[in-house]
Amino acid sequence: MRKNLVVLSGAGISAESGLKTFRDADGLWEGHSIYDVATPEAWHRNPELVQEFYNQRRKQLREVNPNAAHYGLAELEAQFNVHIITQNVDDLHERAGSTQVLHLHGELNKARSTGPGREEVLLEHWELKTGDLCANGFQLRPHIVWFGEEVPALYDAAMLCQQADILLVIGTSLQVYPAAGLVHEAPFDIPRFYIDPKAEERGGQSNLQVIAKTATEGIKDFRAILLD
């Protein structure tokens, strides 16, 4: 029986594909405060601005490709039952070939109805506009978990972590909750790895074997350890 490899991935893995990280160093997202583009209040206050912000991110996503870290994780499905729990809203894991990806914070390539059914719609293009409606006549919004909203996939993510035989954290600072708390859901006595160039500086993570490299470089070391 193949072992369960559970991966927690974050913005660092996609940054190496040239995708801008969601939050810049100055705390602004492409010049916008999070309160202008990533809260339910922002959506109600200025939906056109919110739509345009995510349209540009969606457009950029179509211009980049998966990198060696994405492909390296996908290839591990040949030996392990790999579940990826990602904080990223892009589809680079899927495009690299990973078949079991759980998105904690939503997906750029989907829209969601603002109606009571909250139906999800797969977008065929990068632009979502005011007037784009679901089948029941409600405006579509980005399928993103905004600040102040619940994380619907958190329970499923916790269950996957509890069943892990091996845990890998890659490309995330482990500073953002509730996602960071998933590390503590995994059994303490299993092999646990942390790939991040600043992992040693951050510290404070118990029982994690640190690989202080970028995602694309660190995945090589990780695969060598697993497949040795």
d(CA 30, CA 20): 9
Active-site choice (70, 93, 105, 143): 105
Q: Which residue has the tokens 């994780």?
A: 73
Q: Give the chain's length.
A: 228
Strand ranges inside the chain, DSSP E: 4-9, 81-86, 101-103, 106-113, 120-122, 140-144, 166-170, 192-195, 209-211
Distances (CA, A) of 69 to 98, 104, 122, 190: 11, 19, 26, 22
Q: Are 30 and 53 in contact (CB under 8 A)?
A: yes
Beta bridge partners of 28: none
Beta-strand pair 209-211/192-195: parallel
> Could you confirm whether 105 is annotated as catalytic?
yes
Beta-strand pair 120-122/140-144: unpaired
Q: Are 105 and 89 in contact (CB under 8 A)?
A: yes
Residue 181 sits at φ, ψ, to 5 deg, of -70, -15
The H-or-E segment that residue 69 falls in is helix 68-75
Active-site positions?
105
